[in-house]
Amino acid sequence: METKKCSKCGEEKDIKNFSKDKSRKDGLQLWCKKCKKEYHNNREKGPIKEKNKIWYQRNKEQIKEKNKILYEKNKDKILEHNKKYYEKNKEQTLWTNKLYRKNNKNKIKINRQKYINSFISFNSNTKIRQEIELYEEIKQSDDKYLMCKCTYCGEWYKPTQLSLSHRLSAINGTSSTRGECRLYCSDGCKQNCPSYQQKLYYKDQIISTSREAQPELRQMVFARDNYTCQKCNVHKDDLDVGIHCHHIEGILWEPLQSADIDMCITYCADCHKEVHKIEGCTYQDLQCV
For 11-65, the pLDDT digits (tens) are 999 989 999 888 888 889 999 999 988 887 776 566 666 777 888 889 989 998 9
Region 92-96: mean pLDDT is: 89
Three-state secondary structure along the chain?
CCEEECCCCCCEEEHHHCCECCCCCCCECCCCHHHHHHHHHHHHCCHHHHHHHHHHHHCHHHHHHHHHHHHHHCHHHHHHHHHHHHHHCHHHHHHHHHHHHHHCHHHHHHHHHHHHHCECECCCCCHHHHHHCCCCCEEECCCCEEEEECCCCCCEECCEHHHHHHHHHHHHCCCCCCCCCCCCCCHHHHHHCCCCCCCCCCCCCCCCCCCCCCHHHHHHHHHHCCCECCCCCCEHHHCCCCEEEEECCCCCCCHHHCCCHHHEEEEEHHHHHHHCCCCCCCCCCCCCC
User: Which percentage of the chain shows pLDDT scores above 90?
Assistant: 31
pTM > 0.95:
no
For 184-217, the pLDDT digits (tens) are 988 888 888 877 776 655 555 544 444 556 788 8
Cα 15 from Cα 232, distance rounded (Å): 84
Residue 183 has pLDDT above 60, yes or no: yes
Cα 189 from Cα 183, distance rounded (Å): 10
Residue 156 has pLDDT above 90, yes or no: yes
User: Which percentage of the chain shows pLDDT scores above 70?
Assistant: 86
- What is the per-residue pLDDT for 210? 44
DSSP bridge pairs for 245:
266
Residue 287 has pLDDT above 50, yes or no: no
Residue 228 has pLDDT above 50, yes or no: yes
Cα 58 from Cα 161, distance rounded (Å): 30
Per-domain residue ranges of the chain: 105-185, 215-275
Cα 155 from Cα 243, distance rounded (Å): 12
**What's the mean pLDDT when you consider all of the chain?**
83
Cα 196 from Cα 189, distance rounded (Å): 9
Strand ranges of the sheet holding 146-149, from the earlier edge strand across to the other edge: 138-140, 146-149, 156-157
In which band, very low, low, confident or very high, does the pLDDT at 149 lie, cut at 50, 70 and 90? very high
For 64-81, the pLDDT digits (tens) are 899 989 999 999 999 999
- What is the per-residue pLDDT for 226? 92
Cα 16 from Cα 2, distance rounded (Å): 9
For 238-264, the pLDDT digits (tens) are 888 889 888 877 666 666 666 788 888
> With the C-alpha atoms ordered 250, 255, 259, 262, is the resulting torsion angle positive or negative?
negative
Residue 89 has pLDDT above 70, yes or no: yes
Residue 283 has pLDDT above 70, yes or no: no
Cα 129 from Cα 138, distance rounded (Å): 10
Cα 123 from Cα 141, distance rounded (Å): 11
